[in-house]
Structure 1
Amino acid sequence: MLVKHSKRHDPLGIVQYVLGKPGAEVIGSTLACPDDPHAIAAEIRFSCAASKRLRLTTYHASLAVAPPERLSDALWHQIAQDYLAKMQYGLCPYLVVRHTDADHDHIHIVAGRLDLNRGKRVPDSWDHYKAETAARELEVEYGLTPTLSSWQTERKPPTVGMIRHERETGQPAVKPELQDLIDDLSGQVDSLDEFMDHLEEAGVELSLKPINETTVGLTYHFKGLYFSASQLGRAYTLNGLHQFRGIESPQDSAAVMAWWEQRQRGQESVQVEPELAQVQDEDHGQPESEPEAQAQGKPEREPVPQPKAQDPKPVDVDPALNLREAQPHPAQDAEDRTRKPQRQKRRHRQMER
C-alpha cells in the first residue's frame, strides 16, 4: 500500500479537489454535510477553533493499492478508519472519498487536526515514519499486496549512524528532520517560487547548480549541514518535486537557472536605506559650518546661549550699605589724625641723628 500525506492551513482547497474529481464518491465521514465542500471546511475549522496555536488545521492522506488489486467501499472505509487510528486521528472529524480516475485503486482522507477528546492537536513528530509503518501493518492485517515504501521510491531511509545518534542522544537526526520538513512544505505549495519562500521561512537555504542541459542540482542547507537532493531521495530533486509533489517549475536547465538568477537579483535589490542617525554616526558627528548647511538646504542651527556675565556686586545687597561703605568711618579718621603727627616727629628725629 502506498501512502502520501500532507498538512494544510485551510481545508477548503483540498476538499474541493477530492470531491471535484470525475467519479469521486464519498464512502465514509463523520461530518454533517459530506457532499458540500464549504460546509465541510466550516465544520473542520470550527473543530479546530479551540486551539489558537494550531496553524495547520487540516490533514490530507491518499492510500493506494497496487494494480490490479481493487477493494470494496466498505473495506476501504475500514482501512481508512484503522489508518486514522494508527496516526492518532481517530477522534477527529474526517471525510473519506474514493477516486476512480486512475489505474490504481485509491482513496483520499481529509481530517481536522484537533483531537476532540483531549482538546489538543494531533502530534506530528515523525509522522512520515508513522505513516509508512501504518501502511506496512495494514498490508499484513488485510492481506494486501506488499509495495515499496516511499523511502525506497522517493526518500532515502536513515543510515545506521543516524539511528545510533538518535538512540544515544534522544534527538532526531538532521537529515530525516529535513526530509519531513520538505515533505510538509511541498504539500502546501504549487510553485517553485512558493516552495523557496516557505523553505526560507523555515530556516532552510536552497541553492541551484546546473549539471547538464536538462538537469539542475539542488543543495539544501539546514542547521549548519549541507545535503544534496540525491542524498535525501528522488522526491527532493527538481524533477522529483515536480513528479512526486506536483510543484510546477521550468524543466529546461537554462530556464531554471534564468529564473534562479532573476530571483537572486530581486533579493539583492531590496536594500534598507540607512537612517539619518546612522549617517551622522558614520561622519563622527562633525558639525557643519553655517554656510555649508545653508548651501545644502539644511536648517541653520540655533545659536547656543552664552552665560551672562555676573555682576560683581550682589544683587540682594541693601543700597544703604553701599552708601555707608563709600563714607569714611569716624573712629578710623580720628586714629589716622593721631598717628600722622607721631610719624612726622619720628621722621624729624631720624634726620637730626
Structure 2
Amino acid sequence: MIGKQVKGRGFRGLLNYLFDKEGAQLIGGNMVGENPRELAAEFRFLKALNPRVERVVYHASLSVPAREKLDNEKWIAIAQDYLNGMGFNDNQYVIVRHVDRSHDHIHIVASRIKLTGECVHDGWDYRRSEQLIRQLERDYQLEAAHSSWEKDRRSPTTGEWRQRQRTGEDSVREKLQNYIDEAATDCPTMPQLINRLKNEGIDVRVGYTHTGNHGISYQLDGIAISGTHLGREYTFPGLQKYKGVNYCSGHDRAIQRGSDRLPADVEEVQLKRTRIVAQIVSNYLHHIGENEHQSKQYTAGWDEDELVLVRNSDSRQLMRAIYKDNSWQAVERGRLTEADIQFFQRWQQLLIEAQETEQLQRERKQEQRGFQLEP
C-alpha cells in the first residue's frame, strides 16, 4: 500500500476536488454533512477552537496495486486504523473513495484540531506513516507496495526529519526533489529542464565525472547537492531513465548555455506570477458570479478574503494571495510554474473573447429592439 499526506489551510477547495471526481463516493467518517459545502462548514466550526493553527487540513491518500481490490468495509477499517496510528483519534474526518484510476484508492480529509482544541502533533509524521503502512499491510494481508519515492528517491536523513519537526519546512534536498519532479512531468529535453529549474531559482550545473560521463548538481538557498545525493532518478542518466527527460549529444551546447545562466530570484519570480494569476482568477470568478470554480486542471476559490489555487492532479496548493494596498500579495510562497502562467494567460484571452462576444450580442439585441420600436 502506498500512502501520501499533505497539510493545508482550506477545506472547501479540497472537498470540491474530491467529490467532483467521477464515481467519487463518501464511504465513511464521523460527520453529519454529505457534500463539500456542509462538511466545510463543520470543519470551520471546530477550527475556531484553536485559531492559532494555520495548516488545519490533513489530507491523506491510501492506494493498493491495480491487481488488488478492497471493499468499502475494509477500506473504512484501514482508514480508521491509519488515523488512530497517526494520532487522529478524536478528530473530525471523512473518507472518500475514488475509482478514476486503475489502482484502488481512498482519500481521507481530517481536521488537525481535536475535539478538545488540541492540535495533532506532526513530528516525524512521514516516517511514522511509512512504518504504519507497513504494519497495515501485515494486519490486512495486503500486497507490499513501495512507491517510486521510496525506491529511487533518497529518504530524509535523521537531521532532516528533526528539521521538519522543528520548523515544519522540508529540507533543501526535499525541496529540490519536489522542484525537479514538477519540472520533469511532461518529459522535457535536458536543456528545457535546466532552464525551468533556473527560472525557479535553482542553480543547475552539468559537467563531466572522472569516468567521462555527464554529472549534474543542483544548488538552492546556498546549498549545493549532487544528483547522486538526491537519489538515482536525479542523476544525469537517471533523469533520462526514470523521468523521461530527452537528451542527445546535440543538446550539449544548449545545456552549457543553460548551466552558465544565473538562476532567477525565486521570491521575485513567484510574487510576479502570483500577481498575474490572482488577477486573472479573480476576474474570472467575478465574471461567473461564483466564489469558486473547478476546471479539469485547477480548483480556485475564496477562503474568506484569501484567493487559493490548487492543482487537481496532486491537490497541491499553488497560490494563496490577498488583495491589499491596491495590489495582490502572496500570503505564502507560491509554487506556480511557467506552464501555469501560460495556461492562465490563455484562459484570460478566452475570457476576453467571451466578454467581447457577450457585449456584441447585447448590442445586437438592443439594435433589434430599437428597430422593432420604430413606427
TM range (shorter): 0.5 to 0.7
In 1, Cα distance between equivalents of 2:4 and 2:233? 12
Q: What do the CA deviations read for 1:261-304 (whole angstroms, capped 9, x no partner)? A: 68449949x9xxxxxxxxxxxxxxxxxxxxxxxxxxxxxxxxxx
- 2:203 corresponds, among 190, 200, 207, to 207
What letter matches 1:126 in structure 2?
Answer: W
- How many pairs does the alignment contain? 237
Q: Does residue 121 of structure 1 match 2:119?
A: yes
Per the alignment, residue 133 of structure 2 pairs with 135
In 2, Cα distance between equivalents of 1:171 and 1:122? 15
Q: Which runs of 4+ in 1 moved over 2 A?
A: 149-155, 169-174, 179-183, 204-212, 215-222, 224-240, 250-258, 260-268
In 2, Cα distance between equivalents of 1:266 and 1:150? 30
CA 70–206 in structure 1, closer or farther in 2 if over 3 Å, else same:
same
In 2, Cα distance between equivalents of 1:10 and 1:96? 17
In the TM superposition, 1:1-353 aligns within 5 A as 1-34=1-34, 36-117=35-116, 119-149=117-147, 151-153=149-151, 155-157=153-155, 178=171, 182=175, 206-209=202-205, 219-221=218-220, 225-228=223-226, 230-233=228-231, 263-264=264-265, 267=268
- How far has the Cα of 1:144 moved from its partner? 0.3
In structure 1, list runs of 5 or more residues that go unmatched.
193-203, 245-249, 271-353
Q: SS of 1:120's equivalent?
A: coil
CA 96–154 in structure 1, closer or farther in 2 if over 3 Å, else same:
farther
In 2, Cα distance between equivalents of 1:177 and 1:111? 22
Does structure 2 retain, via aligned residues, the 8 Å contact 1:95–1:111? yes
- How far has the Cα of 1:101 moved from its partner? 1.1
In 1, Cα distance between equivalents of 2:165 and 2:50? 27
CA 60–267 in structure 1, closer or farther in 2 if over 3 Å, else same:
closer
Q: Normalising to structure 1: TM-score of the pair?
A: 0.54
Q: Higher Cα Rg: structure 1 or 2? A: 1
Does structure 2 retain, via aligned residues, the 8 Å contact 1:179–1:232? no
CA 226–211 in structure 1, closer or farther in 2 if over 3 Å, else same:
closer
In 2, Cα distance between equivalents of 1:42 and 1:221? 40
- How far has the Cα of 1:228 moved from its partner? 4.0
Q: Normalising to structure 2: TM-score of the pair?
A: 0.51
Q: SS of 1:46's equivalent?
A: helix
Point out the structure with the larger strand share.
Answer: 2
Per the alignment, residue 292 of structure 2 pairs with none
Please give the root-mean-square deviation of Cα atoms over the aligned residues, in Å. Answer: 4.8
In structure 2, list runs of 5 or more residues that go unmatched.
186-199, 209-213, 272-375
Q: SS of 1:70's equivalent?
A: coil
Q: What do the CA deviations read for 1:52-90 (whole angstroms, capped 9, x no partner)? A: 320101011110011211000011011000000011112
In 2, Cα distance between equivalents of 1:221 and 1:231? 14
Identity of aligned residues (%): 32
